Amino acid sequence: MQGMSRAMSDTPIPDRAALVAHARESIARGSKSFAMASTLFDRVTRERAWLLYAWCRKCDDIADGQDHGGTMTSVSDAQARLSEMRVLTDSALRGDPTGDPAFDGFGVVMRECAIPDHYAHDLIEGFALDARDWRPRSQDDMLRYCYHVAGVVGCMMAVLMGVDPDDRATLDRACDLGLAFQLANIARDISEDEAADRCYLPIEWLVEMDIPPGEHMKPWVRPRLTILVRRLVDMAAAYEESARHGTGALPPRAAWAVLAAAGIYGDIAREVGRRGDHAWDHRVVTPKREKLAWVARAGFQVIARARRWPAITPRSANLWTRST
């Protein structure tokens, strides 16, 4: 494949400034919410967050045949795409030029921050599940998937922000935030996923509500689906709240960015829950004015975080061992 030839490229890795510029453009196109939250970091952390995001976004686009998100296309070569992703990622981790700035930049940030390589492999395992048309049978299955595609990114971001890779308690909090984001995604994107022949609602949940396979978006099922989605929304809120307890381990500006992102993205899940049966009539987004409000609110939360969020057991405790 073209990507595999790129991984063997003799072209030198572009300088860091060029990689950062590419990553900045990627996050601006791919996620306005994360782009806004990233501005709250100090410059070095912000650039590193962009580099990590660009790799995550590119892997997602390779897997789903997208260009910075948008409507998923049906792909007939899922395993080949997965192989391309693995080859490019492994080359980047070795420090070899790949010919793709998203992967080259990823290699740079992984080396700068000494992020353990196994996190990159864990994320790709999430794409591997999709490549073989996997479906979650149980709630634990769904949460393991959420770890692979989002919780692990939270862990990588925590190390990027200066958390010791052996600080399991703080990494669990970071994983919690990733799970909250992905649960919000699942709730919001049920209709889009169904159009791509995907469903991330546990089979056991659908059986519980007597929803036949493949029928969950039918109008007559909508009230039952709404009950399940409220469950997702409540789970997302619980993981978001748990994640907030870990911000005491972060530098103030990093905590500010994390708390802002938690609120901005958390509003997606809350709005899905508020809309009820009409949650999928129009795509849920957080308006810019609400994002700015969360930036301000998060600033005050940083000041009060020790008092507001005393230590409690992270919800993600033991999730990593269950996912292997």
Query: SS3 letters for 174-212?
Result: HHHHHHHHHHHHHHHCHHHHHHCCCCCCCHHHHHHCCCC
Of 318 and 220, more confident: 220
Closest CA to 122 of 56, 50, 198: 56
Length of the chain: 324
Q: Where are the domains of the chain?
A: 1-132, 135-324
Alpha-carbon distance of 279 to 139, in angstroms, equals 22
Q: With cut-offs at 50, 70 and 90, classify the pLDDT of residue 3.
A: very low
Q: Are 288 and 37 in contact (CB under 8 A)?
A: no
Q: What was the pLDDT predicted at 5?
A: 44
For residue 179, the tally of other CB atoms under 10 A from its CB is 29
pLDDT over 90 (residue 126): yes
Record the tokens describing residue 246, joined without a space.
């870990």
Record the tokens describing residue 43, joined without a space.
């410059």
For residue 19, the tally of other CB atoms under 10 A from its CB is 24
Q: Are 232 and 195 in contact (CB under 8 A)?
A: no
Q: With cut-offs at 50, 70 and 90, classify the pLDDT of residue 318.
A: low
Q: Per-residue pLDDT tens for 186-208?
A: 999 999 999 888 999 999 999 99
Alpha-carbon distance of 200 to 137, in angstroms, equals 9
For residue 291, the tally of other CB atoms under 10 A from its CB is 21
For residue 256, the tally of other CB atoms under 10 A from its CB is 23
Q: Are 68 and 29 in contact (CB under 8 A)?
A: yes
Q: What are the CA-CA distances from residue 92 to residues 2, 50, 88, 190 (Å)?
A: 16, 16, 6, 33
Alpha-carbon distance of 269 to 3, in angstroms, equals 36
Q: Per-residue pLDDT tens for 94-120?
A: 999 999 999 999 999 999 999 999 999
For residue 72, the tally of other CB atoms under 10 A from its CB is 18
Closest CA to 201 of 236, 240, 232: 232
Span 22-28, average pLDDT: 95
Q: Quick check: helix, strand or coil at residue 310?
A: coil
Q: What is the CATH number of domain 135-324?
A: 1.10.600.10
Q: With cut-offs at 50, 70 and 90, classify the pLDDT of residue 49.
A: very high
Record the tokens describing residue 323, joined without a space.
């996912």
pLDDT over 90 (residue 314): no
Q: Are 302 and 255 in contact (CB under 8 A)?
A: yes
Contact residues for 225 (Cβ-Cβ < 8 A; gap 6+): 190, 209, 211, 216, 217
Contact residues for 241 (Cβ-Cβ < 8 A; gap 6+): none
Closest CA to 230 of 181, 183, 290, 294: 183
